[in-house]
Structure 1
């Protein structure tokens, strides 16, 4: 039988990349961590970590076991929550979300959840994916509405192999500028046309993404301001401080005097989805909520032009 504590130790080794750092996190000695891993390897008949002077990395067998460790930890946490809820007649659903996704997808999804599972108590935690996806892995939240750009999910150190990802929405980024900007009347822009422009951005990850995107186009952007709020960034653009790169779902609430212009392919895009772990996605209230989020995402995809500043709303079909 595999000892749960040894799985916990292996997971810490995967997260921290060394026995000594894992030992510190677990309040153990490095020797004790090494012994736990060695016993686990003997019980499996397979090596779970590869040791080197630069630390340790997971083998394929180790990645499988870390995925199992995450699922076990999440299931134990959920079992604890269910025991605490005995006798209350309520089920809890804890949802983590990033700000713009939560603002535009959660409110429309809630009525279906409440109608189908009226005794579900909903809790919402706000945070960026690098903060909330680990909470899913730990079993601290049932699901996370998250996003990533053209790289992998920001699950942090370790394999993250137990996460289940359901894609919801492609969220293209647009160049937002003052309506009197010399390029504001264009139907689309090549990123190279913006090489000399000053930028004001609404997210640190957007700045990182822009710099990587611009590097491939052969220029380094001049970033004059970085905020943690897309509305604030758009307000600075309206004041004439520069241009910005804004996801399409973040155009509400509107800021007067702005124009959004699509970027020619390859278009920078946020990939929005829902992350769950283990069997949590199969629970009825979780399944219902994910389906409600999918319906909201389909609605958002169907009318994207109505959110773009400077664009007239699409006419209703006759």
Structure 2
């Protein structure tokens, strides 16, 4: 196993290759010629001969050329590290974002538009329930997250990002006058269906026997598919508005107007350090585009 090479030795070898002589390399490094020669000797002890001294020029051996290539790779790695630590480039690099599925349907096309306009950005967007969103940000697997509940984790900062109204959605030809109509139509459930339906329907139908008493006509855990059985007349569901707006069969479904229930979506990130420049750039783009879509 090779012992780690002293960076000073490598620096002397690079200067020697660029200057072409020990005398000029020593002048560039502000060292004595003997010191440069000693550094090269230490490298040759580790690697074998790296340079052959000719009367008028130096000839680099295969080991020496491999060393110089290694030095260039180290220099490039140092520059990449410095750039990441400085974090001044908002238009290059990777950003990880995790959100619930409903708002994700709204944001994902906007993120794709931004990435197409700024090809230096690599945006990785994942759908997940609240618990996974919070865990991903808290454990540094994702820089940004959006959650439907405000996290109490002291490691996280949470700020309001967007409001998300809940909607009662039925097949296009259905009419809902009372709770009996819901029982007749039947419920299309999903992972957050019981909780969302309880929050909305408890305000619209006072004294109802509870969502769990409704007949369930189907279930889907894919946010983009939950409205498919509704569009086919198989039942009703309760979903956030952004999920309904992303559904491509708008004429096959209908929103039942009534008492509104609006959830706040929270933007979360780690409290200990500021957002990266690219995270700030992405958030500004999303806020601008969302405002434009609303016509505000």
Asked if TM exceeds 0.5, the reply is yes
Q: Describe how 1:227-266 pairs up with structure 2 within 5 A.
A: 227-251=220-244, 252-255=246-249, 256-264=251-259
Residue aligned with 2:94, SS: strand
Pick closer, same or farther for the CA change 1:260–1:199 going to 2, 3 Å: same
d(CA) in 1 for partners of 2:239, 2:79: 42
Give the drift of 1:138.
1.1
SS of residue paired to 1:145: strand
How far apart, CA to CA, are the structure 1 residues paired with 2:97 and 2:168?
A: 31
CA contact (8 A) 2:98 2:145 kept: yes
Query: 1:95 touches 1:123 (CA, 8 Å); kept in 2?
Result: yes
Q: Is the alpha carbon distance of 1:167 and 1:110 closer, same or farther for their aligned partners in structure 2, counting shifts above 3 Å? A: farther
Instruction: For residues 228-256 of structure 1, give each alpha carbon's deviation from its aligned partner in whole angstroms, at most 9, with x where no partner exists.
Output: 13443322123322211122111223224
Structure 1 residue 127, shift from structure 2 partner: 1.4
For the pair shown, which has the larger CA radius of gyration, 1 or 2? Answer: 2
Pair 1:208 & 2:209 matched: no
- Preserved contact between residue 202 and residue 246 of structure 1 (Cα < 8 Å): no
Q: TM-score, normalised by structure 1?
A: 0.54
CA contact (8 A) 1:207 1:226 kept: no
For structure 2, the residue ranges without an aligned partner over 5 or more in a row are: 1-76, 85-91
SS of equivalent residue, structure 1 residue 100:
helix
Give the corresponding residue for 1:65. Answer: none
- Once the two structures are superposed, the pairs formed by residues 259-298 of structure 1 within 5 Å of their partners are 259-264=254-259, 267-298=260-291
Kindly provide the CA deviation profile for residues 271-306 of structure 1, in whole angstroms up to 9, marking residues without a partner as x: 224211125543211111111121233234349xxx
Q: What is the CA distance between 1:86 and its match in structure 2?
A: 2.9
Compute the displacement of 1:178 (Å). Answer: 1.9
CA RMSD of aligned residues (A): 3.3
Contact 2:162/2:266, CA 8 A, preserved across alignment: yes
Conserved 8 A contact 1:164-1:277: yes
Q: For the residues of structure 2 that align with 1:84 and 1:178, how far apart are their CA atoms?
A: 58
Tell me, yes or no, if the aligned pair for 2:164 and 2:240 is still in contact at 8 Å: yes
**Aligned-partner Cα distance in 1 for 2:95–2:79:** 14
* 2: CA distance, partners of 1:97 / 1:292: 16
Q: How many residues get paired?
A: 205
Deviations 1:132-190 (A, max 9, x none): 211101111110133x2xxx43x4xxx4123222323222122211222134xxxxx7x
Structure 2 equivalent of residue 94 of structure 1: 96
Which structure 1 segments of 5+ residues have no match?
A: 1-81, 184-188, 304-318
After the TM superposition, list the runs of 4 or more consecutive aligned residues in structure 1 that deviate by more than 6 angstroms. none
**Who is 1:134 aligned against?**
135
Q: Does 1:166 align with 2:159?
A: yes
- For the residue of structure 1 that corresponds to 2:192, the secondary structure is helix
Q: Is the 8 A contact 2:188 2:229 kept in 1?
A: no
Q: Tell me, yes or no, if the aligned pair for 1:171 and 1:270 is still in contact at 8 Å.
A: yes
